[in-house]
Amino acid sequence: MASKDDAKAGLRSLARHADFVIDTYLTTGSGVDETDENAAAIEALRKHRLIWRMDASEPYQLKNPVVRLLDQQTQAHRRQLANENIAQLWSTVTDRFESYRASVQQGAFEDRERLEREIRELMHEIIDDISTTTANYLKYIHGGFSYVTNPELRIQENEKVIRQAQRLNDLLGTFRVSDLAEQAGNTPFLKRLLLKHLQAEVEQAQNTLSVALEHLGRMLVQQRESQRLNQMIDAIGEHYDKHPGFTPSIEDMDLSRCPTPINRARPMTLKAYNNPEDFRQDEVAVPLAAKARRQPAASAPTQEYEPQPIDDCVEPETVNEQHDPLDEAVEQLISFILERGSASAQVSAADLARNQLPDHDRSDWLQAVASAVDALHVRDQARIHMSFEVTTSSIFDGNDFVSDIWLGPAAEAR
């Protein structure tokens, strides 16, 4: 009985603070406004775990089951606000669903056929209204509200159309698959209408509305920007009308409000020419010209180019490169084999390593000899016969261990 008492207490808490919960749902969706007036309601809802928050610094949120309950209870109202005609048709066809299921259970075939015809007609009207309404928003996009000439009224019209599209999108969101499946039940006729035809039309309409809302939002931004530019141009024209003799001057600019890039710009060179028809300019230009003649420009002395040698600051240094004795031994071995006659005997690489490279690992030496022979030119490889002395592994089947390599002239192959 404890779980039953807890459920009753939670429902009583919801009923006691119903206005607060509904206002929160309608205004913010799920976010709770934490004020002194709402402190008692928040504490009661938190006690019954109807609200939650991740951290103490975050606001409380209505839990998802509460939000889904309010969605279920307000979907009829949201349909009514979104589109009166579709909401009315859906209410009518819902009543027909109840009558149709009753006729199926009672075996009234005549009533069943009549209700199927009526339901088909109503569903066709709903689907047609959804398709027509969503297609109208595409016309607004292509037309660009050209039927409205005033820019301000065009913005208002665009905002109104966006609100209508959002309400229609809310309407389509109420046709959830779970609700449609519950309406259809186990009746094949209703399943085909609701879960196939209606659901497909709703999904297509939602995609169309998504594209339309995106384009309408961009169009609204462009319209507001055009309105701002038009207001700026009108303000400049109005200023000229009020001040007929106004002439823009750089002196009128307030450098404290001047943008930083303009303040940092390098000075521009201005070229001015004397007007021969204006005698007042002669009074200013004559002294300047006389002063320029009295002070000829001093020419800088020419200097002949003298090439200067470039000294390298780094003194030469001889670095003696240390050769790897393993590489030298391999080169000497290959040269020795190539220079010998065809009647010469073969040479054991392992014996040579024991005599000349006692400190080196035998496996490294044998690998270096085999790699050096493989790296030779094709003609040189043909002059050398290389054979391996191997031992079959008793532990790893199919593996051989190389213990020595025999090298000799190719004619002495054996």
Residues 6+ apart with CB under 8 A from 41: 17, 20
Q: What is the pLDDT of residue 79?
A: 47
Please report, as a single letter, which amino acid is at residue 329: A
- Position 216 in a domain: yes
- Position 213 in a domain: yes
Q: Are residues 334 and 190 in the same domain?
A: no
Q: What's the mean pLDDT when you consider all of the chain?
A: 77
- Position 276 in a domain: no
Q: What is the pLDDT of residue 259?
A: 65
Evaluate whether 187 touches 101 at the Cβ level (below 8 Å).
Answer: yes
Residues 6+ apart with CB under 8 A from 230: 151
Evaluate whether 342 touches 381 at the Cβ level (below 8 Å).
Answer: no
Instruction: Give Cα 327 to chain centroid, integer Å.
Output: 56
- Position 133 in a domain: yes
In 254-348, which ranges are continuous DSSP H helix? 260-263, 279-294, 325-339
Regions of the chain where pLDDT drops below 50 = 79-82, 412-414
Half-sphere exposure at residue 159, Cβ-oriented, CA atoms within 13 angstroms:
9
Look at the chain and count its residues: 414
Evaluate whether 405 touches 387 at the Cβ level (below 8 Å).
Answer: yes
Residue finishing a domain among 176, 204, 231 = 231
Q: Are residues 115 and 21 in the same domain?
A: no
- Position 250 in a domain: no
How would you label 341-362 residue by residue, b for 16+ Cβ within 10 Å and e otherwise?
eeeeebeebbebbeeebeeeee
Q: Are residues 81 and 226 in the same domain?
A: yes
- Determine the structural domain holding residue 189 and report its residue range: 76-231
Read off the tokens for 51: 């609200």
**Residues 164, 167, 172, 178: what is their CA dihedral angle, to the nearest 10 degrees?**
180
Q: Are residues 80 and 225 in the same domain?
A: yes
- Position 158 in a domain: yes
Q: Are residues 105 and 177 in the same domain?
A: yes
DSSP string, 357-378: -TTS-HHHHHHHHHHHHHTS-H
Q: Are residues 56 and 86 in the same domain?
A: no
Residue finishing a domain among 213, 231, 249 = 231
Helix (H) or strand (E) holding 404: strand 400-409
Q: Are residues 81 and 206 in the same domain?
A: yes
Q: What is the pLDDT of residue 258?
A: 67
Phi and psi torsions of 201, nearest 5°:
-70, -40
Report the percent of the chain where pLDDT is more than 70. Answer: 82
Q: Are residues 56 and 116 in the same domain?
A: no
**Angle, alpha carbons 172-174-178 (nearest 5°):** 115
Please report, as a single letter, which amino acid is at residue 112: R
Please report, as a single letter, which amino acid is at residue 203: E
Residues 6+ apart with CB under 8 A from 240: 246
In sequence order, the β-bridge partners of residue 386 are 407
Q: Are residues 128 and 102 in the same domain?
A: yes
Residue finishing a domain among 212, 231, 250 = 231
Q: Are residues 138 and 85 in the same domain?
A: yes
Q: Are residues 138 and 220 in the same domain?
A: yes
Q: Are residues 136 and 21 in the same domain?
A: no
Q: Hey, how many other C-beta atoms are within 10 angstroms of the C-beta on 6? A: 12
Q: What is the pLDDT of residue 74?
A: 63
